Every structure is written in structure tokens, then in C-alpha cells.
Amino acid sequence: MMKRFFIFLILAIVGYYIVDVVSQIPFGENRVNVGDYYLDKSPSELKVSNTVTAIVVNYRGFDTLGEVTVLFLAATGLASIMFRRKRKGEKDIRAKKASSRIIQIGSQILFPIIILLGAYVFIHGHLSPGGGFQGGVIIATASLLMLISYRKFKVNHSTISWIESIAGIVFVLLGVTGLILGKTFLENFLPTGELNNLLSGGIIGIIYVAVGFKVAAELTGLIDTLLLNNRPEANKEK
């Protein structure tokens, strides 16, 4: 009986907020007004130069959180399917033959540059084209470059899991903090600063950094798992 009561209570609360949100939608209004609102409010209120960023992270931030969750579930599901338990004494080797010395040297030179580029993209996502997803993918490509260049390059999945978890928690905590302060979920509650400055946009920059780390960690771990399970040795063992 108690279990049914709590289920009914949760459904009632969710239903109330859904009805409350839907009742505030201005049906019949000109759709152009929505675009004009974003273009006007993003630089004036949020102090964000990239209007797309303001929409993705602030005005529809809850939807972006859902996208990050979908990416996490997809990566987890694929990694679970591809998981192969190592035999005793088995070493992680991704290729039968090592890459040439030229490729290895080139990888060493490009690796820190690509990492720096990815970090720049998600840190400056609210000022220029880019963002957390793009920056995270760029960093993951740097890891891919090293993984295919060196047979014994290792990815610490425990560290990746911690980075991914902390990034996700930061994203959610920013939204919950807004609710605690009497605002909506993921609504900005920090000083917005000045337009075109790095420390502008309130929580938007922080969210993009968290998303960048989360995407980079998820894709790096997934790439490592896929490469390990496509070794000639692994294929012979199956």
C-alpha cells in the first residue's frame, strides 16, 4: 500500500509540473518571436556571444542533459557487448605489428596539440563555434591516434570512469542548485560577467567544460574497448 502511495505521489508531482509548463506555452504565437527572443537575450542577459550555445546549454539545457545521458547509455551498452574477459597473464596488445617510427614520432608531436585544441574548443564554446561535444570528440581522436600508433599504449578505465562520473555529477548539481535557489533547472545563477570575456555566461562555460570531459572520457574508453576486441589474437580466441 505504501509503495503504491509513493508511486502515485511521484506521478502526481511530475504531472503537476508537466501541466504547469504546458499551460505557459504561448500557443498560436508567431514562431519568429522565439528566434528573436534568443538572439536578443543571449548577448544582453547571459552575456554569451554564441547564441547556439546559449540555447543548447541554458534555454534547453535539460534536453542537452538528456543527450549526454543517451550518449553514456549507448557507450555503456556497446562496451558491455564488446567486453571480453582477459585470460590469466594476457597483455593488452592492439595490433600485431607496431606502427612505423615516422607515425610514432608524428603521434607524439600531434597528441598534445590535439588535446590542447579540444580543450580550447570546449572552454571557448560560449564565445566561438564549438562546445563540449565537439571538444570531447577532438580529445578522443588524440587518444585514438596514440592507440593505433603504439601497441602498448594503455588507457586507464578506472580514471576514465571517475572523470566521466564527476563531469556528470557537476552537470546535474548545477541544475539542482538552480532549483534550490528558486530558479528553474539549469537556469543560470552565477554572475554573467561581460560579453566576449572568457569568464562570461555564468554556468554555461562550466557546463561545457563538464560535457567536454564527459564526452572525451566516454569515447576514449569506447575506442579502447573496440580496438582491443579487434586484435588478430582476440579474434582467434573467440
pTM here is 0.72
φ/ψ of 54, rounded to 5, equals -60, -40
Domain boundaries, the chain: 2-84+92-237
CA distance 103 to 98: 10
Angle at the Cα of 216 from the Cα atoms of 214 and 221, rounded to 5 degrees? 100
CA distance 151 to 95: 6
Largest Cα–Cα distance in the chain?
70
The alpha-helical segments, DSSP class H, found in the chain are 2-23, 32-41, 51-54, 61-82, 101-123, 132-149, 157-180, 203-228, 232-237
Residue reference for cell 579474434: 235
Angle at the Cα of 11 from the Cα atoms of 9 and 16, rounded to 5 degrees? 95
pLDDT per residue as tens, the chain (238 positions): 677 888 888 889 888 878 887 787 777 666 666 777 788 878 888 888 888 888 888 777 778 888 878 877 887 787 777 665 555 555 555 555 667 888 888 888 999 999 999 999 988 888 888 888 889 999 999 988 888 888 777 788 888 889 888 988 888 888 888 888 888 778 888 888 888 888 888 888 888 898 899 889 888 888 887 777 655 444 444 4
Collect all residues with Cβ–Cβ distance below 8 Å to 71 and sequence separation of at least 6: 215, 218
Angle at the Cα of 103 from the Cα atoms of 99 and 105, rounded to 5 degrees? 115
